[in-house]
Structure formats: C-alpha cells, structure tokens
Chains A and B, each alone.
Chain A
C-alpha cells in the first residue's frame, strides 16, 4: 500500500538554527500539506501546496517557514531560525483531491529545539 514517508523521524537542533524536514508524498498525489502537533495539543494546519504554489496557510506559517517541492517527488518544510516553541511533531500529508481530504498522513518528524 502506498504511503507518505518522512525523514528524519527525530531532529534535534539548537535554537536559531535552520532545519529542513523532508517528505515524500504518494506518487500520484497532487495536493500536499504540512501540519504540526505540539505535545499534548491539537493537530494544527500549517500550509497546503498545489501546482507548485501555496494554496492556503495558517497564521502559524509566518516568514520563518517555507515549503518547496524541489524535484517533483520531495516536499520540504524549512524553518529558518528555530525557536523553542517550534518543538513539535510535524506531519506531512498528501491527497488526490483538493477538498481537504488529506487522506494520507506521514508518520511525522519529531522536532526538538534546545
């Protein structure tokens, strides 16, 4: 069964450092998403991406964040200068339709900012 993969599974970084989280969506999917979940809190939508551009973004997704689909298979989330409060599980998702039907989520990357 096809699946969304994410690497690394756990990333530890120092405050102020840049991090890039990697995702490989399911190959025939066209819509891509990043979500995050701070420990013990709700899953929060960050950004959606379609046709090589951002479709929608939340208030969390400020200038410190960016997304890219560099080579037609990978989908990355970059945080330019990490803060302690960026520590969270980051989930990538992809879907074949645009109706928020992010039917396939990846296993997540746990980001720890020290």
Chain B
C-alpha cells in the first residue's frame, strides 16, 4: 500500500472550511484513497473515499489531484464536534477477501470556537 504523509496537526475556526491535505505520491492505479476520523477514544469513523474523481457526501468533500499524488479532505463548515484525528489511507483491492486498513498517525484537527 502506498505511504501517506499528513500534517501532524491543524487548527480551524468554527464555521470555516477545514482543508486537510494528504500526500500519496507513490499511489498506484488501483489504490483508493480513504478518509476516516477518530474522535477521542471512540472507534474510527468512515468519512469518504475515492479513486480518481472528486467525491462529496453529507460529511465532506474529497478532492483528488489529476495525477492522484495528493488529495484534500474538505469539511465545509467545521463545528467543534469535528475536532478529531483524521486519517488518510491508501489501499488497493486484493480481490476476494476482506482487506484491512493501515492507519498512520493522522492529522489532529482542532476546531477553535
């Protein structure tokens, strides 16, 4: 699986858009980009994933560069409840069975009131 690089921490003002970057320069053609978050001591929570195209759901948007070497998770209107560690994970599909995810250290996003 491709390695990912994320900033250790970021601050964002409540109500503003939070933009979390992730570098995955060694990503290969069949690898997806996943974003999860973990609010203190809780289980990780799936946010969004994508392969090539930008994706949007009720929680966030995912912007993947054309060369797929980096991506940005956007929380459009951050709230205090969005304070969490955000993980960018790249994972290919091995085919057939269930594939586990490798979590890194992630970005600790702190939403400031």
Contacts and interface: CB of A to CB of B under 8 A. Distances in A.
Contact of A101 (B38, B49, B97): B49
A91 B100 contact: no
A19 interface: no
B26 to A, nearest CB: 18
Interface string A38-49: 000011111111
Contacts, number: 81
Tell me what chain A mostly uses at the interface: helix, strand, loop, or mixed: strand
A49 B98 CA distance: 6
A61 B42 CA distance: 22
Interface residues of A, number: 32
B52 interface: no
The residue in B32, B100, B101, B103 that gathers the most chain A C-beta atoms within 10 A of its C-beta is: B100
Given A98-B93, A105-B44, A42 B104 contact: yes
Nearest to A103: B46
Given A45-B103, A98-B97, A98-B99, 16 more contacts: A43-B38, A43-B103, A48-B100, A55-B99, A56-B98, A91-B44, A98-B98, A100-B34, A100-B91, A100-B93, A100-B100, A102-B44, A102-B46, A105-B43, A105-B45, A108-B41
